[in-house]
Amino acid sequence: MSLRTASQSPGADWQALVRKSGTKEFASAFAPSPVLDTSVLCGPCQGVDAIAAFFVATTSGMYDSLTFTSATVDGTKTYLEWEGKAFGRDVGGATTLMRNDAGLIESIRLYHRPLQIVQLFSAELAMRLKGKLDPSLFSAQ
């Protein structure tokens, strides 16, 4: 799946890929040893399996709604802005995808706001991903 193509709405290609987390198609979109850096973890999430587990956890009921509001592609980087609701509160953020020369995702930077949502997400992810990701990735709540 190419995330470089224009889509009918900002972030549609990325959302479609995230919905396939844990599948061969999802894994094939990534370069070897990809990294996810996010404001809701205390360190990098490394490897396609860990990244898939993260997105499975976040897409299964953590957001009440999520809408991508803009997308910009600049060479090997895609910048996405989004907003929505999580835990009944307003949430917003940005996702940056960095690809190698072959178009495979090497790095994802995912930032949430405001701080209260960052803390809620981290605590919820610690419960949802217990035994799946290194516990040091989650802040002590």
C-alpha separations of 40 from 4, 75, 78, 136 in Å: 26, 27, 20, 12
Q: Give the burial class of 54: count Cβ atoms within 10 A of its Cβ; 0-12 exposed, 13-18 middle, 19 or more buried.
A: buried
Question: Which two structure tokens, joined as six digits, stand for 14?
Answer: 């990325």
**In the CATH hierarchy, which fold is given to the domain comprising 12-132?**
Nuclear Transport Factor 2; Chain: A, (3.10.450)
Per run of 10 residues, the mean pLDDT along the chain (length 141 residues) is 55 94 96 97 96 93 94 95 95 97 97 94 92 83 45
Supply the pLDDT for residue 104. Answer: 97
Supply the pLDDT for residue 141. Answer: 45
Supply the pLDDT for residue 5. Answer: 47
Supply the pLDDT for residue 59. Answer: 87
Supply the pLDDT for residue 140. Answer: 57
Supply the pLDDT for residue 61. Answer: 86
> Where are the domains positioned within the chain?
12-132
